[in-house]
Structure formats: C-alpha cells, structure tokens
Structure 1
Amino acid sequence: MHRSWRRVFLAAALLVTSIVRASADDGAIIDRWYSALLVADRTELSDLLSDDVRMKLDDIGVVQSKEDFIASIDEWQGAVAGATIRHRIEKSENGETTVLACYDFPNNDTLMRETFTVAGGRITASTQTAVAQDCSAY
C-alpha cells in the first residue's frame, strides 16, 4: 500500500510539474508577443501565430485571421512608434493565458485585457477587450 501511494504522489508531482512548465512556456510566448508587437516585427509575430489563429477585437467587433493581422502591421507600426507596452499575466491555466496590458502611446494610453490560447508553442486564439481609457488601474 505504501508503494502505491508513492506512485500516485510521483504521478501527481510530474503532472503538476508539466502544467507549471507549460504555463511558463506560455508566459515566454506572451513575452515574445509583446516584444514583437512593440516593434511591429512581422516575422516574429507571424512565427508566434498558428496558421488558423482567430484574433477577436471585442470593442470593434472584428475577428482577424493571421493574414488579416499581418496585413495590418504597416498601420500598427505607425501607431506604435514611440509607445511602450507593459503587460502582466493575471492567470494562466489549461493553455489559456489572461493578460492585463497597458498600451502607452505618446498622446494617450489604454488598458486592455487580452486572452491568449496557446498550443504547440503558437498562439491559436486571442481576444482583446478594453478595460479603461488610461492605465491608472495597471
């Protein structure tokens, strides 16, 4: 009986370790995302997105494919010039990571809640919703 408890404990410990490792990997992908987004790095952003990604922009009612998103980078590059993006993970579980992100543009700032679904080292879904017109709650 003592041995079977050890096996159960060991199996549970390995499961928790793999979940923690997956969350850490997802966090690294999210960090890469914001770094690439800040400099409008098309190659890195494209590498981070799965081919069938769906990016939902709740506030304007738009859903973008990978191609739509990459095509919008020229416009984004002008908007993000001189900006900073601060982000922190609020929670991460079961391949879904929720982030609070402050987009601090030269003339204004916006606080967003963004949820990413990550599988196989790539973002498969993203939902972005405005939280506030400034980042005072960040």
Structure 2
Amino acid sequence: MHRTLWRFFVAATLLMSSIVHASADDGAIIDRWYSALLAADRGELAELLADDVRMTLDDIGVVQTKQDFIASIDEWQGAVAGAAIRHRIEKSENGQTTVLACYDFPNNDTLMRETFTIAGGRITASTQRAVAQDCSGY
C-alpha cells in the first residue's frame, strides 16, 4: 500500500511540474507575441502562429487565417506607431491562456481580453474581445 501511495505522489508531482512548465512556456510565447505585435514584426508573428491558426475578432465578427493576419500587418504597422501594449495573464491552463491587454495608441486606448490556445510552442487559436473603451480597468 505504501509503495502504491508513493508512486501516485511521484506521478502527481511530475504531472504538476509539467503543467507549471507548460504554463511558463505559454507565458513566454505570449510575451513574444505582444513584443512582435508592437514592432509589427511579420517574421516573428509568422513564427509564433501555427499554419492552421484561426484568429477570431469577436467585436467585428471576423475570423482570420494566418495569411489574412500577416497580410494585415502593413495597415497595423501604421496604427501601432507610437503606441504601447501592456498585458497581463489572467489565467493559463490546459494550453489556453487568457490575457487582459491595454492597447495604448497615441490618440486613444482600449482594453481587450484575448484568449490564446497554444500547442507545440505555437498559437493555434486566438479570440479577441473589447472590454472597455479605455484602459482605466487595467
């Protein structure tokens, strides 16, 4: 009985360790994402996105493929000039990370909730929804 309990404890410890490690890796991917987004770095963004990613912009009812998203970076680059993006992870579990992000543009700001699904070190899905017209709730 004691040996069975010990094996269970070891298995549970290894599982928790792998979950914590995966969450840390996901956090690093999220940090890279916002840095690349702010810099409008097409190469880094393309590397972070899985080939079959689906990016959902809930507020405007748009779903983008990887190619759609990368093609929109030219327009984004002009919009993000002089901006800042602050983000913090609200929760991360089972490969899904929810982030509160303040997009602070030179003439306005907006608060967004963004959920990322991450597998194999890449973003496989992203959903974005506005929370507020300013970042006072950040």
TM-score by structure 1 length?
0.99
1:99-118 to structure 2, matched below 5 A, reads 99-118=99-118
Secondary structure of the equivalent of 2:118? strand
CA displacement, residues 75-110 of structure 1 (integer Å, 9 cap, x when unaligned): 000000000000000000000000000000000000
Residue deviations 1:25-81, cap 9 Å, x none?
A: 001000000000000000000000000000000001100000000000000000000
Partner of 2:125: 125
Q: Secondary structure in 1 aligned to 2:136? A: coil
Unaligned runs of at least 5 residues, structure 1? none
The residue aligned with 1:5 is 5
User: What whole-Å deviation, never above 9, does each CA across 1:101-132 have from its counterpart, x for those lacking one?
Assistant: 00000000000000000000000000000000
- 1:18 matched residue in structure 2: 18
Q: What letter matches 2:106 in structure 1? A: P
Provide the secondary structure at the position in 2 that maps to 1:110.
strand
**2:84 matches 1:84:** yes
Q: Counterparts of 2:66 and 2:7 in 1: how far apart (Å)?
A: 44
Q: Hey, what does 1:33 align to over in structure 2?
A: 33
1:69 counterpart residue number: 69
Following superposition, which runs of at least 4 residues in structure 1 exceed 6 angstroms of deviation? none
CA RMSD of aligned residues (A): 0.4
Aligned twin of 2:42:
42
Q: Percent identity?
A: 84
The structural deviation recorded for 1:4 is 1.3
Q: CA deviation at 1:2?
A: 1.1
CA distance in 2, matches of 1:60, 1:7: 51
Q: Which residue identity is paired with 1:107? A: N
Please give the secondary structure, in 1, of the residue aligned with 2:82: coil
One-letter amino acid of the counterpart of residue 137, structure 1:
G
Q: Which ranges in structure 2 are unaligned for 5 or more consecutive residues?
A: none
